[in-house]
Amino acid sequence: MEEFGQTEFAVPESEQFEQSNHFLSDTKNALQLCLQFYDLLDNVSFKARNEVRKLEQQVQAMIINYYCQNETNCGNMALLQRDQSQYISEATGVIKGIQEQVQSMNEQFQAINDHIQRVNPQRKNPNAKIPRNEQNLDLKFQQISLTQLEKEQSQYRFVSAGPYFSISDIQTGSCLFRLDENQNLTHFLTLPFEVRLLAATDDNQLAINDQLYNLNDLSCYQSLNIPIENYTCVYHSNNILYYGYIDYAKIKMIDCKSLKLKCLRTTIGKCKGPGIPQIEGLKGLSEQLLFLYKGVVRKITVQQDRLSQQCEIVFKLQEEIVKFLVLPDNIHLVAITAKNNIFTANHLTGAIIQKVQLQETLSQIIVHPNFDFERFPVILGSSENCVQAMDFLDSGIQFTNMLEGARIVAYFQNGMFLIQQGSNLIFLSEAGVSNY
């Protein structure tokens, strides 16, 4: 797997691309500095650890020598006291010197840690400019009523992935549908079990729980050899499936072609815990994964030749994050917390752009089909009783209505989504907004 820091970039030579030339040159230099820092850090860390280990061993040897002298002279108290006094007098200066050396190294490394905290603080960015979009709008959608359900909505499980979604009834099984190019939903598969996890691959396959179905021949499927009850989410990128463990900070990686499995262990914990409830990717950076663990958004760059994946914090708050959404610009994300606040942040720097208080607890958030970060910073949220639109930057957009008694049950990447309103399934497309 190619390391991002070693990627070669083709720099445009034409004068009209001079700005691009400078930009790519700067990025290459920045990446080179990162690699130099890694080498320096590894080298210094190795030397410092070895030096402290030698000092530690020296102190341990002095303790052993002290007790050995006591055992040797235990029959002669006068000789024992004389030797102890002489040994302690000689050793005390050495011990103080070791203390000063280790304390000095501690202070130097702590200074580096303090500097990192100052460079990348998790606080609101005072330089962030929030665009103003003062307007009152009606929330409107083109609606197509699809079907009527027989039971209350709480008895169904809805899962979607790409152009596919599933409706599961615990008692009768699952029905799977596909959204075609003409925006028609077609039922194509019925299964006798509940669909919990769903992911569409790049080679016309569909991962359903722990099985991989060939969409050209639905009778042909392969087992992924994983106990599905051990996993809580799935994400797909470049024909690789990533399953988040339900009670460990680990991700199971499965190659859809070879079906080879690899466990991506992270550096943030080996003990049983809350697990990984959400995994997301970044466009153009297929080896980087964002995931939620213990209320914090974290990131790994997948390196298959390593037993443990280095993990870094992307976004951490004083509140627990329960769900996050990477916005289409690939730079910002929105995060919902357990205290019903919604934060907008730059995931590259961790800087907070905005904080907005929510009135209701949201079980799902999606990007509004007309989304634009500056002109229309709006997402749709699904609560227990309604679907509502929110200006997450608090830029001045107010909505005069919401979809009462509805919830979002499926989202399609082309901006279309499915809601359940009462006993009706309704397909919404090309959202409309009008001035009020």
Is there a single domain that holds both residue 33 and residue 142?
no
> For residue range 134-147, what is the model confidence (pLDDT) as tens digits?
777 767 676 666 66
Is there a single domain that holds both residue 43 and residue 143?
no
d(C-alpha 219, C-alpha 54), whole Å: 65
Is there a single domain that holds both residue 233 and residue 263?
yes
d(C-alpha 235, C-alpha 254), whole Å: 11
Is there a single domain that holds both residue 151 and residue 90?
no
Tell me the two tokens of residue 173: 């099984």
Is there a single domain that holds both residue 74 and residue 164?
no
d(C-alpha 344, C-alpha 394), whole Å: 10
Is there a single domain that holds both residue 70 and residue 144?
no
The gap from C-alpha 142 to its chain's centroid, in whole angstroms, comes to 33
Which among 409, 428, 435 has a CA at the least distance from the CA of 166?
409
User: Which CATH number covers residue 338?
Assistant: 2.130.10.10
pLDDT at residue 435 tops 50: no
Specify whether the CB–CB gap between 370 and 360 falls below 8 A: no
Q: Which of 63, 85, 119 is the last residue of a domain?
A: 119
Query: What domain range includes position 107?
Result: 4-119
Residue type, 116: I
CB under 8 Å to 292, separation ≥6 — which residues?
A: 276, 277, 278, 298, 321, 322, 323, 324
pLDDT at residue 1 tops 50: no
pLDDT at residue 198 tops 90: yes
pLDDT at residue 6 tops 50: no
pLDDT at residue 255 tops 80: yes
Which segments within 215-371 are labelled E, that is strand? 217-223, 231-237, 240-245, 250-255, 261-266, 278-282, 285-293, 296-301, 308-309, 311-315, 321-326, 332-337, 341-346, 352-357, 364-367
Domain count, the chain: 2
> For residue range 261-282, what is the model confidence (pLDDT) as tens digits?
888 888 777 778 788 999 998 8
Evaluated on CA atoms 265, 209, 283, 205, the torsion sign reads positive
Q: Which of 75, 93, 119 is the last residue of a domain?
A: 119
The gap from C-alpha 131 to its chain's centroid, in whole angstroms, comes to 27
For residue 423, tell me if it sits in a domain.
Answer: yes
Is there a single domain that holds both residue 187 and residue 296?
yes
Is there a single domain that holds both residue 99 and residue 187?
no
Is there a single domain that holds both residue 277 and residue 165?
yes
For residue 124, tell me if it sits in a domain.
Answer: no
For residue 66, tell me if it sits in a domain.
Answer: yes
For residue 100, tell me if it sits in a domain.
Answer: yes
Is there a single domain that holds both residue 141 and residue 94?
no
For residue 130, tell me if it sits in a domain.
Answer: no
Which of 97-101, 363-367, 417-421 is predicted with the least confidence, judged by mean pLDDT?
A: 417-421
- Strand, coil or helix: 197: coil
Is there a single domain that holds both residue 294 and residue 429?
yes
Q: How far is CA 144 from CA 5, 65, 181, 426, 429, in A?
A: 48, 86, 16, 6, 9
For residue 127, tell me if it sits in a domain.
Answer: no
d(C-alpha 5, C-alpha 32), whole Å: 7
The gap from C-alpha 281 to its chain's centroid, in whole angstroms, comes to 8
Quickly state the pLDDT bin for 29 (edges 50, 70, 90).
Answer: confident
Q: Is 161 exposed, middle or buried (0-12, 13-18, 19+ CB in 10 A)?
A: buried
> For residue range 238-253, what is the model confidence (pLDDT) as tens digits?
889 999 999 888 999 9
Q: Provide the mean pLDDT of the chain.
A: 80
pLDDT at residue 61 tops 90: no
What average pLDDT does this structure show over 40-48?
83
Q: How far is CA 214 from CA 9, 57, 221, 310, 403, in A?
A: 37, 61, 6, 34, 37
d(C-alpha 356, C-alpha 326), whole Å: 17
For residue 128, tell me if it sits in a domain.
Answer: no
Tell me the two tokens of residue 346: 């730059």
Quickly state the pLDDT bin for 9 (edges 50, 70, 90).
Answer: very low
List 298's β-bridge partners, or say none.
291, 313
Which segments within 97-230 are labelled E, that is strand? 135-148, 156-161, 164-169, 173-179, 185-191, 198-200, 205-208, 211-214, 217-223
Higher pLDDT among residues 238 and 125, named by residue: 238
Q: In what order do the strands lie in the sheet with 332-337?
A: 321-326, 332-337, 341-346, 352-357
For residue 174, tell me if it sits in a domain.
Answer: yes
Q: How much is the pLDDT for 285? A: 80
Listing DSSP states for 268-309 in one string gives T--S--S---EEEEETTEEEEEEEEETTEEEEEE--TT-SEE
Quickly state the pLDDT bin for 5 (edges 50, 70, 90).
Answer: very low
Is there a single domain that holds both residue 204 and residue 275?
yes
Evaluated on CA atoms 51, 54, 59, 62, the torsion sign reads negative
